[in-house]
Amino acid sequence: MAKQNISARPFGMRDQIGYMFGDFGNDFTFILSSMFMMKFYTDVMDISAGVVGILMMAARFMDAVTDVTMGQIVDRSKPARDGKFRPWIRRMCGPVAISSFLIYQSAFADRPYGFKLGWMIITYLLWGSIFYTSINIPYGSMASAISSEPKDRAKLSNWRNIGATLANLVIGVGTPLAAYLTVDGNKVLSGSRMTMIAGVFSAGAVICYLLCYYLVQERVPMEANNQKLDVGGMLKSLAVNRALLGIIAAAILLLLAQLGMSGISGYVFPNYYGSAAAQSIASLTGSLVVLLICAPLASRLSERFGKKELSTAACLVSAVVYLICLLMRPQSAVVYIIFFTVAFAGVGFFNTVIWAMITDVIDDSELKNGIREDGTIYAVYSFARKVGQALSSGMVGGLLSMIGYTQATAFDPAVTNAIFTMSCVIPIIGFTAVALVLLFIYPLNKRRVEENAAELARSRKKMMQECKNPIVKRF
């Protein structure tokens, strides 16, 4: 591994804030899609939830190619004057923001069904499978180049989660308050308002990306990987990497639970509880508990107990909380918000440390294979997250179709009661499954991570000594 550039300014708060803005920019479009795209196309564009869900799942097959391809492009690209990863943020911030805005064009609501369907497919693929990939893979891989110190990378992971939480706060709280109108006593989504909101968030994404670009600095020189591409060997190496497979399975299941919570909240609050404002309050309290409790405590708790151990316990707590909510079936939106907030704290602890867990996986892979592949491993993990996002959308869309949700039945008691049940069962199953994967498949417990870090430190020290003393005895 390359030595850290000692001529660069020291790693500090500027880098952490800058890296936070990168995820803030990502989630201006990602969270908007996760929380409101299906709602927009079912309630404004009159496309069935099942069709929207199928698109989101089908797009992930395209991502299987684009994510890994982008990872290889990043690994094999030569560093520019401003680094190896940062240039991609500058190049792609405009395209990803524009393509996101194009998804939410309510002016086409009266166009023929085929036109609306085609528009949805094209704009969603441009945003998610091409432009979002081309900026997210370099951004995530960049953490290894900002600092070579594990403690610094843990700080970057924490601040990245803070950025995601702030984006969730802005989008989750602001959008329901601004996007809904009262029609015949019911809360309905306004298409024109959603278009304006999407435009504002796209502009915000560009600003955040540029702040990330100008505030962070790459210190660890990452040379281009010039080895001949062996697709079969690469896939074989990834397929037997238990740590990577474990974190991939956990990520998919986590997003099924987390985005299932977020996606169904767009229905349970306005349709079951009759309050769009309650959705904003839930997003506010969920975000605050992450910022005020999870972010300050996660690093200390993971250092003491281990990242795997902390995440497993947090997910089990979240599952139990929703089980109690399902059994109580509260009729008060305030009580439901309390359950939502406590469960969200469990998600917050896992999300705060998960990016540091990826660097643990990369370190473990380096020890086993003798090569550092930040971009490729991160690309595979990113693809897994997109699969989780897609499956959650497909799951929510499919379940809504199964219970008969349409514009006409949106407020029928049988449908709204089924929506409430879904809002509890999805996270119960999802969080329980995450905990089981972490417990029985993911191998990097506290002791193993510490042993890997010590072994890598010894290996790098030996390499530095050999560089200082190039003349060695040959036999």
pLDDT tens-digit series, residues 16-46: 999 999 999 999 998 898 888 988 998 999 9
Query: What backbone torsions phi and psi does residue 270 show, to the nearest 5 degrees?
Result: -75, -30
How confident is the model over 430-456, as pLDDT tens digits? 999 999 999 999 999 989 988 887 887
- For the chain, which residues make up each domain, given as ranges? 13-221+231-452
pLDDT at res. 470: 57
pLDDT tier, 475 (very low <50, low <70, confident <90, very high otherwise): very low
CB 378, CB 140: distance < 8 Å: yes
pLDDT grade for 343, boundaries at 50, 70 and 90: very high
Higher pLDDT, 95 or 369: 95
Reported as a single tens digit per residue, the pLDDT across 209-223 is 999 999 999 887 766
How far apart CA 153 and CA 16 sit, in angstroms, is 9
Least confident of 117-126, 297-306, 325-334: 297-306
pTM beyond cutoff 0.85:
no
Asked whether residue 324 carries a pLDDT value surpassing 90, the answer given is: yes
Mean pLDDT of the chain: 85
d(CA 31, CA 392): 13
Mean pLDDT value across residues 156-178: 86
**Structure confidence at residue 472 (pLDDT):** 47
CATH code assigned to 13-221+231-452: 1.20.1250.20
Q: By CB neighbour count within 10 A (0-12 exposed, 13-18 middle, 19+ buried), where does 4 fall?
A: middle
